[in-house]
Structure 1
């Protein structure tokens, strides 16, 4: 069996299954219940600082606590 045929059979079977599983995993990760606050913050980031200072950032953002790359 030549290399092209071997790779073609692999791509038609196991690679398709793996890529489908990765796609489904990403979709589940995006639509998980705990992600709503993060997605709402990302959707409204362009409206920050238009008329007032920005509010507190989303949990997990180290810029608010003063911990940045310098202390890591």
Structure 2
């Protein structure tokens, strides 16, 4: 029974370290210098048609891309 307890605690520790390192990796990936343009473009999506309404063709194309339920 002693071996099971040691292995269980070791697995929990390794899992915690893995999750912390994964989280840090995801944050660093999102904040890397090369991704600034992608994030800026994504943030501007709601404001793309501020100066004029979207054309009917654009609205139909966007509607066609939506997943059907």
Scaled by the length of structure 1, the TM-score of the pair is 0.58
Q: Please, which runs of 5 or more residues in structure 1 have no aligned partner?
A: 55-72
Larger-Rg structure: 2
More helix by share: 2
Aligned residues: 51
Name the Cα RMSD after superposition: 2.5
Scaled by the length of structure 2, the TM-score of the pair is 0.60
Greater RCO, CA 8 A, separation 6+: 1
Runs of 4 or more, structure 1, over 2 Å off, are 4-7
